[in-house]
Amino acid sequence: MTIGITGPESTGKSTLAEQLANYYGAIWVPEYAREYLANLHRPYTQADVENIAKEQLARMNKALEQAPKLIFFDTELIVLKIWLENVYSTSPVWLQEAIKQQNIDLYLLMDIDLPWEPDPQREHPHLRQFFFDWYQRELLNHKFNFVTISGSYHDRFEVARQQIDKLVL
């Protein structure tokens, strides 16, 4: 069972992924972009974002090879596609194909109702609704199974847990 956590910046994806993994005793795959950008001492390029996408995919696949019962992906490939298309007006065909083949059982689309938390790696505090709508369109266009997760951090955890329990119990 794989759970992909997706959505705009500063919506609690990483927090929820870690909470859920701890609760279920499961594996979670952190967002590689944070690590990559923290070690990049120049502005990122399109090639950097594509490298991030490739490594995120490799880490997701490595977790899948371990064959655990439950895996949480703190971000997934839709995030990288939207990033590339927003900044560079393009995304590579391989990435679009990889999205179709992610085989994520449930996506948790994080709502924008949490307060924005500034971070040097975050870029769009005033475009949260724009990006939320884009993520939702992507999920709908691919006909992926998803639920929107809203409310406080506690509420988000409880709603996500209830949705996951429907699938795993």
pLDDT tens for 11-52 read: 999 999 999 999 999 999 999 998 999 999 999 999 999 999
In sequence order, the 6+-apart residues with CB closer than 8 A to the CB of 82 are: 131, 134, 135, 138
Is the predicted pLDDT of residue 93 greater than 80, yes or no? yes
The helix-helix angle for 46-65 and 93-100 (nearest 10°) equals 30
CATH assignment of the domain containing 140: 3.40.50.300
Q: Which of 128, 140, 111, 131 is nearest to 12 (CA)?
A: 111
Is the predicted pLDDT of residue 68 greater than 80, yes or no? no
* pLDDT value, residue 89: 97
**Structural domain boundaries, residue 29:** 2-168
Is the predicted pLDDT of residue 169 greater than 90, yes or no? no
Mean pLDDT of 73-83: 94
How many distinct structural domains can be found in the chain? Answer: 1
* pLDDT value, residue 124: 80
Q: Which of 136, 52, 141 is nearest to 88 (CA)?
A: 52
